[in-house]
Amino acid sequence: MDSTLNIAVISDTHDKVPEKLISAIESADEIWHLGDICDLESLQRLRSLGPEFLSVQGNCDPYEQSPHSLVLERFGIRFRLQHRPPQTSDSSVDVVLFGHLHYPVKRKTDFGYELNPGAVNGPRDGSQSSFAWLSFAIEGVWSWRLAAI
């Protein structure tokens, strides 16, 4: 791999895409949204940023704009993107990325990691508005870093 791959992982924008978020993620190589975009204008705004944009359906999305889950592989690591927290462990992926809770989560399971970047809008449980950077510097090695908005 020649350079670092940086993926902005966002969730729960709920009809609003703050300019501070746009400024923070416009340099991303990819953008992954974990659901609850809620309106088509916000979806179009995020898709127009330029990098590859992938999203999953959230429980507050009033239209079928995305699949309910996606399995993606980047540099030997398998990710499942979904909106709601996992109910069971999934040995077919290394990392489950989810939204819905409106606060960040990072936990190690017997099968890998379960990660939540928090919420762009409406943070809960004393958290602040946030997203995460998923970065790869070399094959099979990744990092997860929360970023405040």
Q: What is the pTM of this model?
A: 0.95
Site of tokens 């099968």: 111
| CATH top class, domain 5-148 | alpha beta
- Supply the pLDDT for residue 53: 96
User: Cα 96 from chain centroid?
Assistant: 10
Local mean pLDDT, 10-residue blocks, the chain (149 residues): 84 97 96 96 92 95 89 95 92 96 96 96 97 90 96
- Supply the pLDDT for residue 2: 53
- Supply the pLDDT for residue 64: 81
